[in-house]
């Protein structure tokens, strides 16, 4: 049986929570429904929103999003790819 690294489990939980918060923030800013499978740019996101929300994620969860990934993949792929 493989041992579970609690740091990895906790980091994955933080990513899920951060993604949920990010989606809630985006819904408030964009004033429309947003899902984890949406592409940031396709739903109306732009660089100023990305910078502001990335700062919130960094301050609240100590995570930094890849802007390249944010622009080119789904929101869930962006968060789950954080190292």
Q: What is the pLDDT of residues 17-71, one digit of tens each?
A: 999 999 999 999 999 999 999 999 999 999 999 999 899 999 999 899 999 999 9
With vertex at residue 7, the alpha carbon angle to CA 71 and CA 10, rounded to the nearest 5 degrees, is 65
Q: Which band of pLDDT confidence, cut at 50, 70 and 90, is reported for residue 83?
A: confident
Helix (H, G, I), strand (E, B) or coil at 3: coil
| Residue 4: predicted pLDDT | 42
Say what the pTM is: 0.83
| Residue 37: predicted pLDDT | 98
| Residue 26: predicted pLDDT | 96
Residue 57, class by beta-carbon neighbours within 10 Å (0-12 exposed, 13-18 middle, 19+ buried)?
buried
CA distances from 59 to 1, 37, 53, 65, 75 (A): 37, 24, 10, 12, 19
């Amino acid at each position: 049986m493989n041992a579970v690294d609690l740091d990895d489990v906790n980091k994955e939980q933080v990513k899920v929570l951060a993604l949920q918060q990010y989606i809630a923030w985006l819904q408030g800013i964009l004033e429309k429904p947003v899902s984890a499978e949406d592409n940031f740019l396709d739903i109306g996101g732009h660089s100023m929103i990305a910078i502001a929300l990335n700062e919130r994620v960094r301050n609240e969860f100590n995570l930094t999003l890849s802007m390249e990934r944010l622009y080119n993949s789904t929101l869930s792929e962006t968060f789950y790819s954080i190292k």
